[in-house]
Amino acid sequence: MQKKNINPSRSVPIALLNRASFILGPKGKDYGYDNFVNSAKVANVLCGVDFITPDIVAACLIGVKAGRYGILAPKSRVPNNESIVDTVIDLVNYVVLMERERQRRVYDEKDNTSRKTTRTR
């Protein structure tokens, strides 16, 4: 029986997005909703600064994964521990989480501004 050729340009993006979505929920339950908030607090203390936000933490993780992808993808050998596909899925999820954290920050900033305006009236 001959194996049917599947066009990766159509099947791969959908499969990756489905898998990323499937992984995001359970990992979120493991790590907790405020994982990036807590990580930002730790990063600020370790660096002696006060400007690292949860979305910046997610951006840093994107940088780590992009660096790993850049090392793994060009090589013809298969990695032993984390597949290239796993790295891509992590990248997709970190981008989604970075945007979630950015939107949370913007919402909180607007909420804090409206509270200050209400109190000064």
Q: What would the DSSP string read from start to end of 25-44?
A: HHHHHHH-TTHHHHHHHHHH
Residue 47 belongs to a domain: yes
Indicate the range of 11-15, 51-55, 63-67, 97-101 predicted with least confidence: 11-15
pLDDT band, very low/low/confident/very high, at 116 (cuts 50, 70, 90): low
Residue 11 belongs to a domain: no
Total-model pTM = 0.80
Residue 79 belongs to a domain: yes
Task: Provide the domain limits for residue 113.
Answer: 33-120
Indicate the range of 1-5, 61-65, 69-73, 75-79 predicted with least confidence: 1-5
Residue 102 belongs to a domain: yes
Residue 77: what pLDDT? Answer: 74
Q: How many whole angstroms separate alpha carbon 28 and alpha carbon 62?
A: 17
CA angle 70, 41, 29 (to 5 degrees): 70
